[in-house]
A and B are shown apart, each in its own frame.
Chain A
Amino acid sequence: MMKRNMACIVRPEANNKVSRYKDHGRAPMPHHPSFIPGIGRRSFLKGVAATGIAAAMPISARIWAQQGQTLRVSAYADIDELDPGFYQNGYNVDVMNCIYTKLIRYKPGREWDWELEAAETIEQVDDTHIHFRLKPGLMFTGGYGEITAEDVKFSFERVLLHDSPVKSDWGPLDHVEVTGRYEGTIVLKKPFVPLWTIALPYGTGHIVSQKAVLEAGDGGDFGMNPPCFSGPYILEQWKPNQSIYLVRNPDWNGEAPGFDNIRILPMDDTKTAERAYEAGDLDFTRITLSSLAQFRDNRPANTVIEEYPSLYYVWLGMNIDNPALSDINLRRAIQYAINVDQIIDAAYFGEAKPANGLIAPGLPGHREKPTVPIDGNLDKAREFLAAGGGPPREPLTIDALNATVWKTMAEVIQAQLMQIGIQTRINVQDSGSFWTIGMESEGDRWKKMQLVLNRFSMLPDPYYATSWFTSDQVGIWNWERFSNPEFDRLQQQALSETDPDKRAAMYRRMQDLMEASGAYKFITHEGTPVMYRKGLEPALRPDGQPLYPEFSGTL
């Protein structure tokens, strides 16, 4: 998930905060007190340690399953970054989950929660201190020895030390204090709510070997050349744009994975993955919403279909700094001319729901309704247009990815804007080209960009959604070039706000500000239908994202 479909995106420069995601998304998550920090904080703090201990899995608890069997799955893009401290995009993290270990991981299921992985215990001592103890006996490959607290310290601190583009995941991390071979304390400068939802169980939470990384370089980004592995699988073979082949790590002493091997086939277009599944080349795949009804009615043999909600957010963005869109009246007119219901009906065959903002239902900060009606208001659109001096003389451009769903959305928007006399031209582009349109580091294309259909993926904390629209993200991932001091201030305050109600109100206000700028028309959070062979027991996050090491069953 995270970042989008962009196999060949050029990473932002090192000092660019950010990025991960777009494309693939899923799921409103049911509220879970232990996962949405700040809710019942005192009881949460008390309970974490106990929960952690209780959840601790005995090493090798799972019997070695599926000897010799290969799990075949698809990914929506090919891997392009395997350093967890500098991760980009969810498809890379899906592989990292297999080849590195981390203190805690997302717990598969329909509700957001976490469980222990490399940690034997983990406890939030107070708002700024988290004490952990590693399971002894977990080994790095390549003779780099046992995983120790020093490796944990190194793995987390290097993210800040080397100015990782995803250092914001670690927020106000101050340092990690090593108190024993297996024990240590994560020390924060101030409370950081997303620690449990993003920092620890996701990309930057993975542990790498200090010795191996320093031998390979200066401790910075090792890109696609991992010096060693620490997870249940190792990367055996990577054929760019063809396949990723993972095999069981013989040195792994943790919980045994469900399959001996995993073959991941990068497929940009989910429709292609659907056909590959039907042809028997895949055991598990995401399916498109437009195909869902067909698959429900005509289910492939020996197949289970499940639907998960999605955290993704899809929106039409408008470049405020483009001269043609500099008048807020025109932007507001566009907002009001767009009927989201029609878009969803056409592009998703009615299988998705309209979005009220960036933040999906179930997450703190989700808005019950947008300030601009979902189905628009043509009269109001015409009023704004008249106030702005009428339609632009030249057609506006709509940039979109070249997959059918985006083209369809763009064509519907084109027709809707024509109703108020705004002409548009659609630029469809492949993912490599599309995902750099708004980046200043990639040339001047951002200046010409006007309307853009975009989708970012999400992690289960609202901060993850809003972090891409702050002023310091302008020209990086903030392609609308929206800049608002109140928004920036709230973004910082909400990170440390432990009162859930106050925090949710902050995020709702931030989305109001975005909408009031006229630069955003929120469309949908999509959904995540998946299908897989009977006998397979997929391990999925509540938003339908796969956790491959925990897949089990018989194929």
Chain B
Amino acid sequence: MNETSATSPTAPDADDRLLSEPSLLTRSLRLVGGNRSGAIGFVLVALIVFAAIFAPWLAPYDPTAIMTGPRMAPPSPEHWLGTDNLGRDLLSRVIAGGRVAMLVAAAALGAALTGGLSLGLIAGLGPRWLDNTLLLIFDALRSFPTIVFGLAVVTIIGPSLFTVILVVAITSIPIYARIVRTQTLALKNVEFILAERAMGAGIARILFVHVLPNVLGPLLILASMDVPLVIATEAGLSFLGMGVRPPTPSWGVILNDGYNFIRNSPWPVISGSIPIILVTLGFTFMGEALRDIFDPRLRRTH
């Protein structure tokens, strides 16, 4: 972290250097380049996202086609990760499962971020009674373990990809909303906001020009680090048979099927586990790197 001392505001020539300081992108690239785990994280995430987007072209077989090869076969030139109990190509299923995972992560976290941001801002800027009511709802929702809540929802509306997204979004909203609320409460009485208000700025300007940019950074970092959690939840629900419908490939489904046939072949379990590990590592490393980029104070403490 050589950059840490170089960007220290206490440096004697700070003003001069601020004038010539490189752009955020340049600094980010430098930071990532200088942070090995961050670089690994970015590369892993890029690969996973690439594979998810181009899954139909990358998968060597139709991931739902049965008997593409012998059942429970070990890795071979025809099937790089082997086959499952129905003779389906595991590599194709893993790639297609990545698409499901990314879709769930993007949709669920997108919904959670939007909901959390909106409700957090309302709670932070709204009247006291509304704040208290929303807090009560947030806490009530958080009191349910995600998987248990998921099982209950699945029982009521049935298992599907939408159900998984809904469960993850609902259980994540309170986390983001609480962070936004706290940030909003802290910001709304700081001097520059009070000054803006005194100068006649409307609530919309304060919200979009001052509050949002300040809360968005931490929120995105948190969301990035939550991606593995969301994917693990999806995999967990699918593992329990409560996630995506068969024969849609999902890492959890691959794990579940593999778990049941582990005596026959370990490859399905290995194939289902590795992408979950890689996603977790990738997004965690990337999240930490993002945190370093967006929060210099934390970087300094390193």
Interface residue ranges, A against B (CB under 8 Å): 271, 290-291, 294-295, 298, 346, 402-404, 407-408, 410-412, 414-415, 425-430, 432-433
Task: Enumerate 27 A-B pairs (CB-CB under 8 Å) in ascending A order.
Answer: A271-B259, A290-B85, A294-B263, A294-B264, A295-B263, A346-B66, A346-B85, A346-B86, A404-B256, A404-B257, A404-B260, A404-B261, A407-B241, A407-B246, A411-B86, A412-B86, A414-B246, A414-B247, A425-B245, A426-B245, A428-B241, A428-B246, A429-B159, A429-B241, A430-B155, A430-B241, A433-B155
Query: A407, A411, A427, A433 — which one has the most chain B CB atoms within 10 A of its CB?
Result: A407
Could you tell me if A411 and B242 are in contact, using CB atoms closer than 8 angstroms?
no
B43 interfacial contact with A, CB 8 Å: no
Q: CA separation between A428 and B237, bound complex, in Å?
A: 12
Could you tell me if B242 and A408 are in contact, using CB atoms closer than 8 angstroms?
no
CB distance from B86 to the nearest CB of A (A): 6
Query: B85, B158, B240 — which one has the most chain A CB atoms within 10 A of its CB?
Result: B85
- Name the CB-closest residue of A to B240: A402
Q: CA separation between A402 and B71, bound complex, in Å?
A: 21
CB distance from A404 to the nearest CB of B (A): 4
Question: Interface on chain B toward A: helix, strand, loop, or mixed SS?
Answer: loop
- Name the CB-closest residue of A to B151: A430
Could you tell me if A298 and B263 are in contact, using CB atoms closer than 8 angstroms?
yes
> In the complex, which of the residues B151, B159, B247, B256 contacts A427, with contact meaning CB atoms closer than 8 Å?
B159
Chain A residues with CB under 8 Å of B245's CB are 425-428
Q: CA separation between A411 and B264, bound complex, in Å?
A: 20
Could you tell me if A402 and B241 are in contact, using CB atoms closer than 8 angstroms?
yes
* Docked complex: B222-259 residues within 8 A CB-CB of A: 240-242, 245-247, 256-257, 259
Q: CA separation between A412 and B260, bound complex, in Å?
A: 17
Could you tell me if A411 and B241 are in contact, using CB atoms closer than 8 angstroms?
no
CB distance from B92 to the nearest CB of A (A): 15
Given A411-B246, A427-B245, A430-B242, 18 extra CB contacts under 8 A:
A271-B259, A290-B85, A290-B261, A290-B264, A291-B263, A346-B86, A402-B241, A403-B241, A404-B85, A404-B256, A404-B257, A408-B86, A411-B86, A412-B66, A426-B247, A427-B159, A428-B159, A432-B155
> In the complex, which of the residues B241, B256, B259, B260 contacts A290, with contact meaning CB atoms closer than 8 Å?
B260
Mask, B138-161, CB within 8 Å of A = 1, is 000000000000010001001100
Could you tell me if A408 and B158 are in contact, using CB atoms closer than 8 angstroms?
no
Q: CA separation between A402 and B246, bound complex, in Å?
A: 10
Chain B residues with CB under 8 Å of A402's CB are 240-242
Q: CA separation between A390 and B155, bound complex, in Å?
A: 33
CB distance from B251 to the nearest CB of A (A): 16
CB distance from A240 to the nearest CB of B (A): 16
Chain A residues with CB under 8 Å of B259's CB are 271
CB distance from B188 to the nearest CB of A (A): 47
Mask, B49-89, CB within 8 Å of A = 1, is 00000000000000000100001000000000000011000
Q: CA separation between A390 and B94, bound complex, in Å?
A: 35
Q: CA separation between A356 and B159, bound complex, in Å?
A: 33
Chain B residues with CB under 8 Å of A346's CB are 66, 71, 85-86
- Name the CB-closest residue of A to B84: A408
Chain B residues with CB under 8 Å of A408's CB are 85-86
> In the complex, which of the residues B151, B246, B260 contacts A426, with contact meaning CB atoms closer than 8 Å?
B246
Query: B85, B260, B264 — which one has the most chain A CB atoms within 10 A of its CB?
Result: B260
Chain A residues with CB under 8 Å of B241's CB are 402-403, 407, 428-430
CB distance from A423 to the nearest CB of B (A): 12
Q: CA separation between A411 and B246, bound complex, in Å?
A: 7
CB distance from A329 to the nearest CB of B (A): 27
CB distance from A531 to the nearest CB of B (A): 13
- Name the CB-closest residue of B to A432: B155
Q: CA separation between A290 and B261, bound complex, in Å?
A: 8
Q: Given the known inter-chain contacts A408-B86, A427-B245, A428-B241, please indicate yes or no for A415 contacting B263, CB distance below 8 A.
A: no
Chain A residues with CB under 8 Å of B246's CB are 407, 410-411, 414, 426, 428
Q: CA separation between A402 and B159, bound complex, in Å?
A: 11
* Docked complex: B16-71 residues within 8 A CB-CB of A: 66, 71
Q: CA separation between A402 and B257, bound complex, in Å?
A: 11
CB distance from B152 to the nearest CB of A (A): 11
Q: CA separation between A294 and B262, bound complex, in Å?
A: 10
Q: CA separation between A412 and B85, bound complex, in Å?
A: 11
Chain B residues with CB under 8 Å of A290's CB are 85, 260-261, 264
Chain A residues with CB under 8 Å of B260's CB are 271, 290, 404
CB distance from B246 to the nearest CB of A (A): 5
CB distance from A420 to the nearest CB of B (A): 16
Chain B residues with CB under 8 Å of A427's CB are 158-159, 245
Chain A residues with CB under 8 Å of B263's CB are 291, 294-295, 298
Q: CA separation between A115 and B246, bound complex, in Å?
A: 47
CB distance from A406 to the nearest CB of B (A): 9
Could you tell me if B66 and A415 are in contact, using CB atoms closer than 8 angstroms?
yes
Q: CA separation between A450 and B247, bound complex, in Å?
A: 18
- Name the CB-closest residue of B to A400: B246
Q: CA separation between A324 and B196, bound complex, in Å?
A: 65
- Name the CB-closest residue of A to B248: A426
CB distance from A151 to the nearest CB of B (A): 42
Chain B residues with CB under 8 Å of A403's CB are 241
CB distance from B44 to the nearest CB of A (A): 31
Q: CA separation between A407 and B257, bound complex, in Å?
A: 9
Chain A residues with CB under 8 Å of B71's CB are 346
CB distance from A338 to the nearest CB of B (A): 14
Q: CA separation between A288 and B85, bound complex, in Å?
A: 14
Chain A residues with CB under 8 Å of B66's CB are 346, 411-412, 415
Chain A residues with CB under 8 Å of B155's CB are 430, 432-433
